[in-house]
Amino acid sequence: MASTVVSSAVSYARENQKRFLEELKNLLRIPSVSTAEEHKDDVRKAAEVVANDLQRIGFEHVEIIPTGGHPLLYADWLHAAGKPTALCYAHYDVQPAEPLDEWHTPPWEPTERNNNIYARGAVDDKGQLWMQLKAFESLFKTGGGKLPINVRVLIEGEEEVGGESIEEYVLKNANTGKLKADFALVTDTELFAPDMPTLCVGLRGLVYTEIEAQGAKTDLHSGVYGGAAPNPLFALVEIISKLKDADGKILIPGFYDDVQKPTDAELKAWERLPFNEEDYRKAEVGSSVLTGEPGYSVLYRTWARPTLEVHGIPGGFVAPGAKTVIPARASAKVSMRLVPNQDPDDILKKYTDFVKKVTPKGIAINIKVHSKGPACVVNTDNKYARASVEAMHEVFGKDTVYIRSGGSIPIVTQFDKDLKIPSIMMGMGLPDDNLHAPNEKFHIPNFYRGIESIIRFFQILGEGK
C-alpha cells in the first residue's frame, strides 16, 4: 500500500486476514458444481453459507431467491443518503473438477502452497466473491454498522452454466427499482500481470452447443457392419472439421459479417502492455507453438477475434483398451466465442444451418444450446471507473491498465443493456491461476489486496470524489 496512513477498515481487514482465509476455505470445501445434477444440494449449501455471512456482517433484506435452477442471493444496505449505489455481483458456483487425477491436491480440500490457495473455485469465483464480503464486513464493523455508499448485492449460482436465472431476474426487475444502482462491481476477472492493477473493459460472448448425432438404432460390431453402417462419431468428425480450418479461421458462411474491430487507440494500448508471446507460450500454455489466425497478435486473437472450440465428444468406447464398436449415438460439445456486434441468435442460426448442411447422409442430428450471450465493451469515462483506478493505485502503488478478456460474463452485457449502468470489472486473478482446469489457485496476497481495493474504492466514492 502506497499511503502510510490506513483507514480503520483497512486495518481491520489486515488484522483479520487469517480468519478471512479460513472462512474462504470453508466455502471452497463445498463442491458447488452447477452443471452437475448430483451437486444440486452442494450448490444450495454454498448459497446458504454466503447468505448467512451477508446477514451476519450487517446487510439487510438478505434473500435466497428460488429459481428454476440454482438460487440467487440478494441483500442490500441503502442508508447512505445522497451517495452512489453499487450493485455488487459475483458467483458462488464453480466448474467441474475433472480430470481429478491431474490435481496435485484434492480440488475440494483447499491447500496452501507457495502463498497460493489451491482448490476448485479458489479464484473463479469464490475467492473473489469472498473479497467483496470481507471488504463489506471491514467497512460495516469499523463504520458503526454503516457503509460509505449504498450497496446492493446480487450473487448467482449459475454463472458456469449460462446464468439463465439471473438473466430473467434482472430483466424482470429492470424497472421495479429493486436493482436500481449507479454502477456494478464485478469481481470475476484478473490482473494482466502480477502486481499490475487492471480494469477489464471488454468480454467475449459465448454460444455453447452440443451436436447430438444418431446413426444406427443400436451399437454395432465394427467388423460385421463396418462399410455399411453410418458412424455418428465419424460424422461429427466430418462436421466439425468443416467448421474451422487449420489456421483457426471459422468457415461458417457469414460468421465474420458483423465483427467490430477494436479502435486504433485500444490496439495501440495493447501493444504497450508488458506481454511476450514466447513467455506466454512457455509459461502459460506450455505447447510447442501457439495457434490461431495469422496476422493477429495473441491479445487480439484471444480478446477481440471470435473463436470456435470443441470441448468433448461423448459417445462410443472411451474406457482404456479396445472395443470394436460403431456407436449408435455420439455428441460433440462445440462453442463459439463472440466479439462485439456479433448477435448470438444470428450466429446460432448460421451455425445451425451450416451444421445441418454438412451433416453426412445416414445421420440424424439435433443441436442443443447450453448457453448463449453477446460480447460487450464497457465505458470507463465515469467517476466509478476513476475511483476504482485511484483505489487500486493506493493499494498497488501503480497505474491501472485497461484490458479485455477472452472469457464471457453475460451479466455485464445485461447490466449495460437492461439496467443502463457501467460495470467495474476489478478482478484479482492471475493469468496462470488455472481457471476451469486442474490445480486452480488464487494468490493469497491478491485476495487481501482485493479486499483493500474494494474498501478504498467505496470509501473514495463515499467521500464524494
Minimal CA–CA distance to 160: which of 97, 117, 66, 101? 97
> Please, what is the minimum distance in Å from the beta carbon of residue 118 to its own copies?
13
Q: Please say which residue, 21 or 328, places its beta carbon nearer to its own copies.
A: 328
- For residue 57, give the amino acid letter: I
**Least distance (Å) between residue 146 CB and its own copies:** 38
Residues numbered 274 to 313 that lie near its own copies (CB under 8 A) are 280, 284-293, 298, 301-302, 305, 307-313
The residue (of 79 and 436) whose beta carbon lies closer to its own copies is 436
CB under 8 Å, gap of 24 or more: what pairs does 244-251 form? Answer: 244/308, 247/292, 247/293, 247/294, 248/291, 248/292, 248/293, 248/301, 248/307, 249/293, 250/306, 250/307, 250/308, 250/336, 251/354
Structure letter (DSSP) for residue 250: B
Binders in 120-159 for its own copies, by CB under 8 A = none
Quick one: which of 55, 79, 268, 317 contacts its own copies (CB under 8 A)? 317
Closest approach of its own copies to the CB of residue 432, in Å: 9
Q: Does 407 bind its own copies (CB under 8 A)?
A: yes
Site for its own copies in 425-454 (CB under 8 A): 431, 434-439
> Distance (Å, rounded) from C-alpha 236 to C-alpha 360?
9
Candidates 14, 61, 141, 333: give the one binding its own copies (CB under 8 A): 333
Residue 408 as a binder of its own copies (CB under 8 A): the answer is yes
CA distances from 230 to 157, 284, 356 (A): 41, 40, 16
CB of 131 to its own copies, least distance (A): 20
> Per-residue DSSP letters for 411-448?
HHHHHHHTS---EEE---B-TTS-TTSTT-EEEHHHHH
Minimum distance from CB of 286 to its own copies (Å)?
3
Q: What cell numbers appear for 124 in the block?
A: 473463479
116 binds its own copies (CB under 8 A): no
Helices within 125-217 (DSSP H only)? 127-142, 164-172
Does 78 sit near its own copies (CB under 8 A)?
Answer: no
Please select the residue that binds its own copies; options are 86, 170, 233, 347, rule is CB under 8 A.
233
Interaction of residue 64 with its own copies, rule CB under 8 A: no
Give dist(CA 253, CA 358) in Å, integer: 12
Task: Name the minimum Å distance from CB 94 to its own copies.
Answer: 11
CB of residue 404 vs its own copies: minimum separation in angstroms? 11
Q: Is 227 in the site for its own copies (CB under 8 A)?
A: yes
Contacts of 376 (CB under 8 A, 6+ apart): 202, 203, 205, 340, 412, 413, 416
**217 or 420: CB nearest its own copies:** 217
Distances (CA, A) of 241 to 308, 347, 353, 369, 446: 11, 18, 16, 20, 41
- By CB under 8 A, the residues from 80 to 99 that bind its own copies are 95-96, 98-99
* Of residues 316 and 445, the one with the C-beta less far from its own copies: 316
Decide whether 137 or 158 has the Cβ nearer to its own copies: 158
Please give the residues from 25 up to 44 whose contact with its own copies meets the rule CB under 8 A.
35-37
Shortest Cβ 220–its own copies spacing (Å): 6
How far, in Å, CA of 433 to CA of 101, rounded?
18
Q: Which is nearer to its own copies, 91 or 301 (CB)?
A: 301
Residue with Cβ nearer its own copies (206 or 419):
206
Shortest Cβ 288–its own copies spacing (Å):
6
Side chain identity, residue 232: P
Member of 1, 229, 259, 267 binding its own copies (CB under 8 A): 229
How far does Cα 384 stand from its chain's mean position? Answer: 22
Judged by CB under 8 A, does residue 230 bind its own copies?
yes
Cα–Cα distance, 334 to 210 (Å, whole number): 6
Task: Work out whether 342 is an interface residue with its own copies (CB under 8 A).
Answer: no
**Rounded distance between C-alpha atoms, residue 297 and residue 302, angstroms:** 9
We find the least distance from the C-beta atom of residue 116 to its own copies, in angstroms, to be: 15
Q: How many residues of this chain interact with its own copies, rule: CB under 8 A?
A: 98
Identity of the residue, 233 or 460, whose beta carbon is nearer to its own copies in the bound complex = 233
Strands 423-425 and 329-338: unpaired
Shortest reach from residue 199's CB to its own copies, in Å: 17
Identity of the residue, 20 or 303, whose beta carbon is nearer to its own copies in the bound complex:
303
Distances from the Cα of 283 to the Cα of 198, 288, 405, angstroms: 20, 11, 19
Q: How far apart are CA 85 and CA 83, in angstroms?
A: 7
Binding flag, residue 102, its own copies (CB under 8 A): yes
Phi and psi (nearest 5°) for 172? -65, -35
Binding mask 363-382 for its own copies (x = CB under 8 A): -x-----xx-----------
Please give the residues from 178 up to 217 whose contact with its own copies meets the rule CB under 8 A. Answer: 204, 206, 208, 210, 215-217
CB-based burial label for 338 (10 Å; 0-12, 13-18, 19+): buried
